């Protein structure tokens, strides 16, 4: 799966999990991250507000997400 930043510089890890509906709530996202259930670029990530940028890869359960940023694909 790919997630396009739509011209933004980054998205935080907890927001990504919510936006993609991988968790039900922001609180659940924070708990899953704190419990070491999320892998960022091959390493366990426990920082809830870790900034994810184009090129980063996230794994949560069976879901893998590649962060992309298509040039010119943004809204003001």
Which pLDDT score, from 0 to 100, does residue 76 have? 46
- Region of residue 22 (left: phi > 0; alpha: psi -120 to 50; beta: else): alpha
Distance CA 20, CA 3 (A): 9
Contact criterion met (CB below 8 Å) for 11 and 49? no
CATH number of the domain bearing residue 62? 3.10.290.10
Which ranges of the chain does DSSP label H, i.e. alpha helix?
A: 13-19, 26-34
- Digit-coded pLDDT (tens) for 26-47: 999 999 999 999 999 999 999 9
Q: Taking the model in full, what pTM does it have?
A: 0.88
Neighbour-count burial of 59, counting CB atoms closer than 10 A to its CB (0-12 exposed, 13-18 middle, 19+ buried): middle
**Residue 74 domain-assigned (yes or no):** no
User: How many structural domains are present in the chain?
Assistant: 1
Q: Which domain holds residue 12?
A: 2-68
């Amino acid at each position: 799966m790919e997630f396009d930043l739509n011209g933004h510089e980054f998205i935080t890890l907890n927001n990504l999990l919510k936006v993609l509906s991988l968790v039900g709530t922001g609180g659940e996202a924070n708990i899953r991250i704190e419990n070491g259930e999320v892998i960022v670029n091959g390493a366990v990530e426990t920082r809830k507000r870790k900034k994810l940028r184009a090129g980063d890869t996230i794994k949560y359960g069976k879901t893998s997400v590649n962060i992309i940023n298509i040039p010119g694909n943004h809204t003001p």
